[in-house]
């Protein structure tokens, strides 16, 4: 460091710290705004109905109460089944769509073959249709599967896979969004890594496992987080397909029903059930939000490790 | 949260149990477990899509609210050995409609469906089984307004499990603080308007004279309450043959009244998207008068209102005592059912005195039959009596069901009501436009 | 539509140009055959699956859109393009306009803010992990609670904003009667709820940029803004394209927030296509019309995404 460069560096450091302070302050404000509704929702679980009714920008906690959480402790044992079903679904829906996404993402990013662009465009155009389009036909498909669930050879008569757990495990295994995501991620990876591995004689599986998977770690973790949350919160599909079979319920479905039941239960006075007990509803909802949040914090660490891992490469 | 070996062991056992259950469920489903491979319904199972509380509380609150659903199952199964009754909750409003449409398309529909305001179009499309034979002997016992939403073209297609109605509510603490007499409710609209203005003036921002609910999107909250006044003035929302009647000259008088009285509502409250908050203002002593559903009694008590009183709704000059049924849950039989006769009997069993009275004692809903209502009346609190009065003595009707595009028709009404309350435009202009929009929407 | 030509990406097997020798041609066709085989081995099962679960439903939907099926019973009859023509009449043009306005609003705000936040987090602001969590956790929540909280906060009668206005002697903030205010609030809510995903994705994308590239630029004298525009954004392009397209799709398919907060009001200003389609299908008993709406929505989305993609990749010819 010569004397000539020193003053310039000092000047730059001062400018950096000024803009850095602005950024830091802005981020703190921004993050507070983002987190505010959730903190509000959590605080609301410690209020009573009357206390909450008076709340404005902070749930009025005149006397914080644990009554909502105590009621939660008396959850019916079926919640364990819902929890297990949901965890099973999450594991399945991370594994299968994940594998499909990596394989297909690689195909569309690296391989050349006739029909590539057409296939990719078909894939993408599926994403343009709103989910409601797939709801009814997929349901009909599952209800009219031949030979299952009381159906005859043409699929008539019974109820197919409806009300069975299988109905929750079959749809949505090839997710165009994730294929698209992995493809974009692979595109930004220089081809040199793979070519080096190929020159060493590696086949496709080895290339994917040793070269791409480590580099795709942040993206895969993001996919895992997205999928976990989507399956955990999935309400509409279980509602339509397995409402009639309590053993196949998921947390999304059971939690929603529980929320409205508990809200009306707790507010019942004498013989009448009344409108919703909002703090109670918030408590059940918070409970439903906790696992995804915990999972996120857990995965975040791997997420960061994945990112640091890459920057070490030359 | 504390963790102890006890908790953990229990959790592990629960997990293992759940694992076994899931494995069982998956393998059974894959093998088509119905014996003999015949359709499930042939095993004499009656599938009932029921109202949420009825269905859920069977498992979640068997000692209190669940008694109602359990009673229905037990009595019917006893009377029909070999028949299993399954009561399921598939949502309400548009979620219920979505599930029903999907199931009907796939052929997995139930035998009996529940609803409040869509049966007329199903009947018009020949999807429901007429129940007139079943109800010949009980028809006179049913409160007329409770049947109407399930009637089409002179036939009855659905029966009510219970009902609710609109009355009038006042907070005496507020009224007396403003120096007015609270021993009885205002008898006429003029009285109400005068009092509301006076209370608002005396309140000076601390309390207001009346709470009016403004429209929101295509929601029905505002139109329900406005319809009470419209019915009283003899200007119902629909004519006898289901055509919109939005710009009836008598209706314009009602809108003029509503426009006036809306000014005595706390600013902003009438357009709050949270309906609960709108009506709680009275419980908290911030408002004096409002139209109240029959569930307000318990709600007010629970919110700490010590001096909330109830009555019939004030009348306009030359008006007739009218109200609307709300929360009027109906059950109908689908034509696609494989057990039509059994289903018809089940629906009829909802109207027995025992069932109707149990609906009140277990879940707190008002019976829809005259005999049951009279029977529970002595046990009803003084606050609830006016609602029973309205049901038995007033001219009670449901909200009209438009033959097509109901969402757009209601949207037109809501938009016009919004303009009524927020602008000073000519009422005939506003409502002529709404009438035209509604008529176009109804052309399909 | 999409091309595989993005900056920095190369398909495997093009590294050595052996195209002009016989050996080269043989090697090329062997490579090409191998690639084709691999590709189809992987893609065929996937396309079959998608064929059953996506293609067939879409076809059914198009077929449905040509009928007047009401979703209750009875057999539908063929009405050709009648449903599509109906979409040219009131109130559908307004609905499409609403959808477009709000989708663009969401797209712009969400993408720009997500990018800035990701940038800030990546350049090591204090407590980056906490910020990252704060910006992502809203996506994990259920719309049921968060819309409730938002409605309390924004309550016209005694919400925070109204109270603050009251302190300055102004009237309450009655956004539920003002179309523009209602739209802005919905846009802000949707962005709040959905921005977590793009933030994480941008962070993932930024993390894959080799820091030596920045060093080289810094040595050359580039300042922060120049580095952002000439290095970061171009290198982030694949991820940017993904975020833009998925945010657009999400924005055009806005549903839950409108359902829970304004139900299409006031004065039909926030009635978006998906809500109208849903109402048409299950409330108005016009399943055929709803199906047509879905097709129109998909076409609008396709057109919008195509245009966007073309704009983003027009400077890359290969």
Confidence of residue B214 (pLDDT cuts 50, 70, 90): very high
Residue B381 Cα, gap to closest chain A Cα (Å): 11
pLDDT on residue C212:
82
pLDDT of residue A263: 55
Alpha helices in A74-175 (DSSP H): 78-110, 116-126, 132-143
Asked which of B5-9, B177-181, C290-294 is least confident by mean pLDDT, the reply is B5-9
Cα–chain center distance at B389: 18
CA pair distance C199, C135, nearest whole angstrom:
7
Lowest-confidence pick of A73-82, B12-21, C134-143, C244-253: B12-21
Tokens of A290: 């906790």
pTM metric for this prediction: 0.83
Instruction: Report the pLDDT value the prediction gives residue A16, as an integer from 0 to 100.
Output: 58
Using CB atoms, which chains have 3+ pairs under 8 A with A? B, C
Separation CA B13–CA B26 (nearest Å): 20
B302 in contact with chain A, both atoms CB, cutoff 8 A = yes
Nearest to A174 among C49, C149, C163 (CB): C49
- Percent of chain B's residues with pLDDT above 90: 66
Higher-pLDDT residue of B34, B111 = B111
**CB distance C262 to B273 below 8 Å:** yes
**In this structure, what CATH number is given to the domain that contains residue C169?**
1.10.3720.10
- Strand B84-89: give its sheet, edge to edge: B84-89, B45-50, B112-115, B329-333, B158-162
Q: Which residues lie below 8 Å from residue C98, measured CB to CB, with a gap of 6+?
A: C183, C268, C269, C270, C271, C272
3-class SS of residue C262: coil
pLDDT at C15 over 80: no
Q: Quickly count helices (H) and strands (E) in chain A.
A: 14, 0
Q: Can you list the alpha helix ranges (DSSP code H) found in B86-241?
A: 93-106, 119-124, 132-135, 144-148, 172-177, 189-203, 221-232
Residue C81, in any domain of the structure: no
| Boundaries of domain holding C191 | 89-317
Q: For B56-70, C6-20, C296-310, which range has the lowest pLDDT when averaged over its residues? A: C6-20
DSSP C79-134: -TTHHHHHTTSTTHHHHHHHHHHHHHHHHHHHHHHHHHHHHHHHTT-TTHHHHHHH
Q: Is A170 on the interface with B (CB under 8 A)?
A: no
Nearest by CB to B415, from C74, C158, C268: name it: C268
Q: Are B68 and B362 in contact (CB under 8 A)?
A: yes
Confidence at B30, pLDDT banded by 50, 70, 90: very low
Rounded-to-integer distance, Cα C318 and Cα C304, Å: 23
Residue C28, pLDDT score: 65
Alpha-carbon gap: A94 to the closest alpha carbon of chain C (Å): 16
**Is ipTM over 0.85?**
no
Select the residue of C151, C176, C282 nearest B101 (Cβ to Cβ): C282
Higher per-residue pLDDT: B60 or A311: B60
Rounded distance, CA B299 to CA B312, Å? 18
Structural domain contains residue C56:
no
Q: What pLDDT shows up at residue C295?
A: 92
Cβ separation B108–A143 shorter than 8 A: yes
The residue that leads in pLDDT, C45 or C22, is: C45
Checking if the pLDDT of C229 tops 90, the result is: no
Nearest to A257 by CA among B57, B263, B104: B57
Partnered with residue B159 across adjacent β-strands are B331
Residue B208 has pLDDT above 80, yes or no: yes
Question: Residue B243 in contact with residue B403, Cβ under 8 Å?
Answer: no
Q: How confident is the model at residue A106 (pLDDT cuts 50, 70, 90)?
A: very high
* Paired residues of B333 in beta bridges: B112
Q: Is the pLDDT of residue B370 over 70?
A: yes
> What are A221-251's pLDDT values in tens digits?
888 888 888 888 888 888 888 887 878 888 8
User: pLDDT tens-digit profile of A190-225?
Assistant: 888 888 888 888 888 888 888 888 888 888 888 888
- pLDDT on residue B17: 32
* Mean pLDDT estimate for chain A: 78
Residue B397: DSSP 8-state:
E
Q: Within 13 Å, how many C-alpha atoms sit on residue A293's CB side?
A: 17
Alpha-carbon span C93 to C88, nearest angstrom: 6
CB-based contact A244 B47, cutoff 8 Å: yes
Confidence of residue A271 (pLDDT cuts 50, 70, 90): very low
pLDDT at C184 over 90: yes
Distance (Å) from the C-alpha of residue A273 to the closest C-alpha of chain C? 21
The more confidently predicted of residues A121 and C4 is: A121
Average pLDDT over all residues of chain B: 86
Structure tokens at C211: 């820091």
Chain B contact for C82 (CB, 8 A cutoff): no
Contact C194, C114 (CB under 8 A): no
- Chain B contact partners (≥3 CB pairs within 8 A): A, C
- Per-residue confidence band for A154, with pLDDT thresholds at 50, 70 and 90: confident
End-to-end Cα distance, chain A: 26
Q: List Cβ neighbours of B365 (8 Å cut-off, separation of 6 or more).
A: B161, B162, B163, B164, B327, B329, B359
Residue C170 domain flag: yes
Residues of A with Cβ-Cβ distance to B57 under 8 angstroms = 261, 265
Mean pLDDT of C133-154: 81
pLDDT confidence bin for A261, thresholds 50/70/90: low
What domains sit in chain B, N to C, each tagged with a CATH number?
Answer: 45-164+328-390 (3.40.190.10), 166-324+402-443 (3.40.190.10)
Measure the CA–CA gap between C177 and B272, rounded to whole angstroms: 10
pLDDT at B286: 92
Say yes or no to pLDDT of C255 above 80. Answer: yes
Residues 151-210 of C with CB under 8 A from A: 152-153, 155, 158-160, 163, 192, 195, 197, 200-201, 203-205, 207-208, 210
What span, in angstroms and rounded, lies between the C-alpha atoms of A160 and B312?
Answer: 53
Residues 84-143 of B with CB under 8 A from A: 86, 88-91, 95, 98-99, 101-102, 105-108
Give the nearest partner residue to B102 out of A76, A240, A274, using CB atoms: A240
Task: Mark yes or no for CB contact B276/A275 under 8 Å.
Answer: yes
Q: What is the rounded average pLDDT of the residues A50-75?
A: 73
Say how far apart CA C42 and CA A104 lie, in whole Å: 7
Q: How far is CA A297 from CA A213, A251, A259, A304, C133, in A?
A: 22, 20, 25, 11, 8
Q: DSSP readout, B61-98?
A: -TTTTHHHHHHHHHHHHHHSTT-EEEEEE--SHHHHHH
Please state whether beta strands B395-397 and B322-324 pair in parallel, antiparallel, or not at all (unpaired): parallel
Of the candidate ranges B233-242, C55-64, C134-143, the one whose mean pLDDT is the lowest: C134-143
Q: Say if CB B169 and CB B282 are below 8 A apart.
A: yes
Residue C31 lies in a domain: no
Domain count, chain C: 1
Asked whether residue C68 is assigned to any structural domain, the reply reads: no
- Among residues B203, B132, B161, the alpha carbon closest in space to that of B331 is found at B161
Q: Do you find a cis peptide bond into C266, omega within 30 degrees of 0? A: yes
**Range in A6-15, B314-323, C48-57, C71-80 the model is least confident about:** A6-15
pLDDT band at C208 (very low <50, low <70, confident <90, very high): confident
DSSP symbol at B367: P
Q: Is residue C146 situated within a structural domain?
A: yes
**C chain contacts of residue B214, beta-carbon cutoff 8 Å:** 176-177
The answer to whether the Cα torsion of B381, B382, B386, B389 is positive or negative is positive
C184 inside domain: yes
pLDDT at B165: 93
Our CA angle for A122, A127, A130, nearest 5°, is 130
In a domain, C76, yes or no: no
């Amino acid at each position: 460091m010569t004397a000539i460069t020193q003053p310039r560096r000092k000047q730059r450091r001062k400018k950096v710290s000024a803009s850095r302070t602005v950024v830091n302050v802005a981020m703190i404000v921004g993050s507070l705004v983002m987190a505010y509704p959730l903190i509000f929702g959590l605080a609301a679980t410690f209020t009573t109905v009357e206390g909450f009714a008076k709340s404005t920008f902070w749930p009025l906690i005149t006397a914080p109460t644990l009554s909502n959480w105590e009621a939660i402790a008396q959850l019916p044992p079926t919640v364990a089944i819902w929890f297990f079903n949901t965890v099973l679904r999450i594991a399945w829906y991370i594994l299968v769509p994940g594998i499909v996404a990596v394989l297909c993402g690689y195909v569309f990013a690296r391989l050349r073959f006739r029909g590539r662009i057409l296939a990719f465009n078909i894939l993408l155009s599926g994403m343009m249709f709103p989910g409601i389009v797939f709801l009814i036909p997929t349901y009909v498909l599952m209800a009219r599967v031949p030979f299952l669930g009381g159906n005859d050879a043409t699929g008539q008569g019974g109820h197919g896979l409806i009300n069975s757990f299988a109905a929750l495990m079959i749809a949505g295994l090839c997710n165009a969004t994730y294929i698209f995501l992995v493809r974009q991620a692979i595109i930004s990876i220089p081809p040199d890594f793979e070519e080096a591995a190929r020159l060493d004689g590696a086949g496709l599986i080895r290339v994917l496992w040793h070269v791409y998977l480590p580099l795709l770690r942040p993206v895969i973790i993001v996919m895992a987080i997205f999928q976990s949350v989507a399956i955990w919160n999935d309400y509409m599909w279980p509602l339509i397909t397995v409402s009639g079979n309590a053993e196949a319920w998921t947390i999304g479905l059971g939690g929603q029903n529980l929320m409205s039941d508990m809200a009306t239960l707790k507010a019942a006075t004498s013989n009448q059930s009344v409108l919703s007990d909002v703090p109670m509803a918030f408590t059940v909802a918070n409970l439903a939000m906790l696992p995804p949040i915990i999972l996120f914090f857990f995965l975040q660490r791997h997420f960061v490790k994945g990112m640091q891992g890459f920057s070490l490469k030359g | 949260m504390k963790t102890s070996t006890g908790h953990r062991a229990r959790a592990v056992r629960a997990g293992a149990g759940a694992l076994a259950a899931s494995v069982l469920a998956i393998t059974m489903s894959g093998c088509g477990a119905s014996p003999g491979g015949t359709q499930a319904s042939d095993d004499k199972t009656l599938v009932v899509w029921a109202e949420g509380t009825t269905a859920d509380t069977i498992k979640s609150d068997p000692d209190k609210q669940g008694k109602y659903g359990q009673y229905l199952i037990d009595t019917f199964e006893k009377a029909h050995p070999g028949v299993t009754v399954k009561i399921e909750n598939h949502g309400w409003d548009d979620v219920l409609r979505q599930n029903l449409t999907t199931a009907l398309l796939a052929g997995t529909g139930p035998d009996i469906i529940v609803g409040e305001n869509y049966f007329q179009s199903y009947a018009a499309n020949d999807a429901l089984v007429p129940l007139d034979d079943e109800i010949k002997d009980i028809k006179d016992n049913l409160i007329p307004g409770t049947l109407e939403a399930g009637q089409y073209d002179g036939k009855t297609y659905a029966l009510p499990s219970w009902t609710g109605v609109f009355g009038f509510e006042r907070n005496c603490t507020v009224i007396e603080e403003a120096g007015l007499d609270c021993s009885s409710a205002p008898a006429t609209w003029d009285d109400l308007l005068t009092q509301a203005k006076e209370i608002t003036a005396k309140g000076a921002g601390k309390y207001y004279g009346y709470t009016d609910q403004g429209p929101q999107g295509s929601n029905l909250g505002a139109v329900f309450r406005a319809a009470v006044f419209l019915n009283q003035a003899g200007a119902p929302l629909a004519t006898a043959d289901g055509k919109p009647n939005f710009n009836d000259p008598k209706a314009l008088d009602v809108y003029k009244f509503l426009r006036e009285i809306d000014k005595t509502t706390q600013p902003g409250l009438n357009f709050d998207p949270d309906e609960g908050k709108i009506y709680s203002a009275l419980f908290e002593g911030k408002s004096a008068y409002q139209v109240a559903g029959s569930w307000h009694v318990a709600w007010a008590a629970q919110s700490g209102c010590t001096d909330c009183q109830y009555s019939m709704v004030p009348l306009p000059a030359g008006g007739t005592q009218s109200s609307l049924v709300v929360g009027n849950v109906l059950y109908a039989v689908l034509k696609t059912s494989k057990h039509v006769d059994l289903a018809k009997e089940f629906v009829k069993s909802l109207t027995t005195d025992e069932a109707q009275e149990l609906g009140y004692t277990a879940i707190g809903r008002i019976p829809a039959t005259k005999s049951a209502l009279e029977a529970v009346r002595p046990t009803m609190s003084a606050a609830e009596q006016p609602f029973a009065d309205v049901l038995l003595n007033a001219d009670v009707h449901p909200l009209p069901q438009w033959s097509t595009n109901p969402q757009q028709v209601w949207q037109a009404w809501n938009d016009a009501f919004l303009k009524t309350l927020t602008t000073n435009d000519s009422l005939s202009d506003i409502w002529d436009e709404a009438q035209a929009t509604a008529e176009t929407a109804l052309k399909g | 539509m999409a091309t595989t030509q993005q900056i920095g990406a190369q398909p495997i097997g093009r590294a050595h140009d052996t195209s002009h020798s016989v050996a080269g041609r043989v090697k090329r066709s062997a490579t090409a055959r191998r690639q084709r085989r691999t590709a189809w081995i992987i893609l065929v099962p996937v396309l079959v699956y998608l064929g059953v679960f996506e293609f067939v439903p879409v076809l059914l939907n198009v077929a449905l859109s040509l009928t007047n099926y009401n979703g209750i019973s009875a057999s539908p009859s063929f009405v050709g393009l009648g449903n599509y023509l109906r979409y040219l009449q009131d109130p559908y043009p307004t609905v499409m306009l609403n959808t477009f306005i709000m989708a663009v609003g969401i797209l712009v705000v969400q993408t720009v803010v997500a990018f800035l936040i990701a940038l800030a987090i990546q350049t090591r602001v204090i407590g980056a992990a906490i910020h990252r969590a704060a910006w992502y956790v809203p996506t994990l929540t259920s719309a049921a609670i968060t819309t409730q909280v938002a409605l309390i906060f924004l309550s016209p009668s005694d919400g925070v904003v109204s109270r603050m206005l009251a302190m300055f002697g102004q009237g309450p903030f009655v956004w539920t009667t003002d179309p523009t205010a209602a739209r802005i609030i919905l846009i802000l809510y949707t962005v709040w709820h959905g921005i977590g995903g793009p933030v994480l994705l941008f962070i993932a994308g930024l993390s894959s940029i080799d820091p030596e590239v920045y060093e080289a630029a810094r040595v050359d004298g580039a300042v922060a803004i120049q580095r952002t525009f000439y290095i970061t954004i171009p290198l982030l392009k694949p991820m940017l394209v993904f975020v833009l397209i998925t945010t657009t799709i999400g924005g055009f398919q806005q549903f839950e927030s409108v359902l829970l907060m304004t139900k299409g009001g006031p004065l039909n200003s926030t009635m978006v296509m998906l809500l109208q389609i849903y109402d048409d299908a299950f409330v108005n008993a016009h399943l055929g019309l709803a199906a047509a709406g879905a097709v129109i929505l998909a076409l609008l989305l396709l057109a919008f995404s195509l245009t966007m993609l073309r704009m983003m990749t027009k400077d890359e010819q290969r």
